[in-house]
């Protein structure tokens, strides 16, 4: 089952977790190499958090198995936790402890010798830009600084919402340093820019399974083909005229389809490779003329990785009835010594 465990820092096979009548994680397979940053993406409700909980031992697996650095999670062995850091979605800090005290506590819990713990903690503080705040109580930290401290906790022994752009880049570089040192990271983020910068491979989860998997460039080459047409409709536009606009675009570009529609915004995807930019702009100009009473603004561009993500995300259903089974953030792991 774990024949690739030597190659992979993290290997999970057939992870499955139902809650009541609904399946949250459905026979998921993951392999994360040593020194790799793996992006685990998906909208809320796809099973990402449950997957993280199973991989950190916070949630039992209903079926399937996983190993981290050769330690089998199914054997209830906690030795692997020494090699794992987890940056939670929400900051879990003790308000009356300082940032430095917090990091020293986690360093001791991980068994880092006192002779090097202070130096190791100071290195993390400097790397994440917390020097000015290290002796202040965590309860006084801003949301961005709490995020930095949570990231530092995961890096002891190694996601960035709520921080300013400069701090975000510092965190990115800290994570890159981790992978260059042979550590492995599983990252979840809603920022495609972040994922493209950090991740060697990406997996997009839909309904508890991977819908696509590969490195960012592969996913771009495979799925980011064609164009997108974004149309902002006027407040006064009638439903009938908007429907006519949709028909016009569908007939102008065979195979095009409305990818999203919300709050007066229509997003059409044109997947035909034979359509030229000249044809595209000519059709858009005609649309603006024929539907002047409908179109307030329009934007044409190439399909982006973010739009691919949104396209897959639209397939997510809120709850999935449990089918009969045929038995089939941020994690950081270092190399075992």
Residue 111: pLDDT above 80?
no
Burial class (CB in 10 A: 0-12, 13-18, 19+), 68: buried
Q: Could you tell me if 14 and 74 lie in one domain? A: yes
Q: Could you tell me if 188 and 299 lie in one domain? A: no
Q: Could you tell me if 40 and 188 lie in one domain? A: yes
Q: Could you tell me if 238 and 286 lie in one domain? A: yes
Q: Could you tell me the maximum CA-CA distance found in the chain, to the nearest angstrom?
A: 75
Q: Could you tell me if 229 and 336 lie in one domain? A: no
Q: Is residue 48 part of a domain?
A: yes
Q: Is residue 193 part of a domain?
A: yes
Q: How sure is the predictor about 21, in pLDDT bands with cuts at 50, 70 and 90?
A: confident
User: Which range (105-114, 195-204, 208-217, 227-236) has the least confidence?
Assistant: 105-114
- Average per-residue pLDDT in the chain? 81
**What CATH code is carried by the domain that includes residue 240?**
3.30.70.2190
Contact predicate 134/100, CB 8 Å? yes
Residue 279: pLDDT above 50?
yes
The confidence score (pLDDT) of residue 92 equals 74
In DSSP terms, which residues pair with 31 in a beta bridge?
11
For tokens 């000519």, name the residue.
282
Q: Could you tell me if 61 and 210 lie in one domain? A: yes
Q: Could you tell me if 247 and 257 lie in one domain? A: yes
Residue 30: pLDDT above 80?
yes
Q: Could you tell me if 191 and 337 lie in one domain? A: yes
Q: Is residue 116 part of a domain?
A: no
Q: Is residue 317 part of a domain?
A: no
Q: Could you tell me if 23 and 68 lie in one domain? A: yes
User: Which range (228-237, 255-264, 280-289) has the least confidence?
Assistant: 255-264
Number of structural domains (the chain) is 2
Q: Could you tell me if 73 and 4 lie in one domain? A: yes
Pull the structure tokens for residue 128: 């994440």
Q: Could you tell me if 295 and 188 lie in one domain? A: no
Q: Is residue 176 part of a domain?
A: no
Q: Is residue 167 part of a domain?
A: no
Q: Could you tell me if 331 and 298 lie in one domain? A: no
Query: Residue 270 belongs to what domain range?
Result: 225-303
Q: How many Cα atoms sit within 13 Å of 117 on the Cβ side? A: 17
Q: Is residue 128 part of a domain?
A: no
Q: How sure is the predictor about 5, in pLDDT bands with cuts at 50, 70 and 90?
A: low
Burial class (CB in 10 A: 0-12, 13-18, 19+), 155: buried
């Amino acid at each position: 089952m774990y024949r690739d465990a030597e190659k992979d820092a993290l290997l999970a096979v057939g992870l499955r977790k139902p809650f009541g009548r609904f399946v949250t994680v459905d026979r998921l397979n993951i392999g994360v190499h040593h020194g790799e940053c793996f992006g685990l993406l998906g909208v809320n409700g796809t099973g990402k958090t449950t997957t993280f909980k199973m991989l950190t031992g916070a949630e039992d697996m209903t079926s399937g198995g996983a190993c981290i650095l050769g330690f089998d999670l199914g054997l209830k062995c906690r030795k692997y936790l020494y090699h794992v850091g987890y940056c939670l979605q929400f900051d879990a800090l003790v308000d009356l402890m300082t940032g430095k005290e917090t990091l020293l506590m986690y360093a001791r819990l991980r068994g880092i010798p006192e002779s090097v713990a202070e130096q190791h903690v100071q290195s993390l503080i400097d790397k994440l830009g917390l020097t000015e705040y290290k002796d202040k109580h965590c309860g006084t930290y801003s949301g961005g600084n709490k995020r930095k401290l949570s990231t530092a906790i995961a890096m002891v022994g190694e996601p960035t919402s709520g921080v300013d752009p400069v701090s975000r880049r510092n965190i990115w570089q800290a994570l890159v340093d981790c992978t260059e040192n042979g550590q492995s990271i599983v990252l979840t983020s809603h920022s495609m820019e972040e994922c493209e910068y950090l991740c060697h491979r990406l997996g997009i989860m839909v309904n508890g399974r991977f819908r696509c998997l590969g490195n960012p460039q592969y996913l771009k080459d495979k799925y980011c083909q064609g164009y997108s047409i974004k149309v902002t409709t006027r407040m006064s536009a009638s439903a009938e005229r908007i429907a006519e606009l949709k028909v016009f675009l569908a007939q102008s570009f065979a195979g095009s389809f409305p990818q999203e529609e919300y709050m007066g915004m229509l997003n059409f995807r044109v997947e035909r490779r034979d359509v030229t930019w000249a044809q595209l702009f000519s059709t858009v100009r005609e649309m603006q003329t024929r539907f002047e009473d409908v179109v307030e603004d329009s934007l044409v561009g190439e399909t982006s990785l973010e739009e691919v993500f949104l396209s897959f995300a639209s397939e997510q259903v809120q709850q999935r009835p449990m089918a009969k089974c045929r038995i089939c953030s941020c994690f950081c792991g270092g190399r075992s010594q």
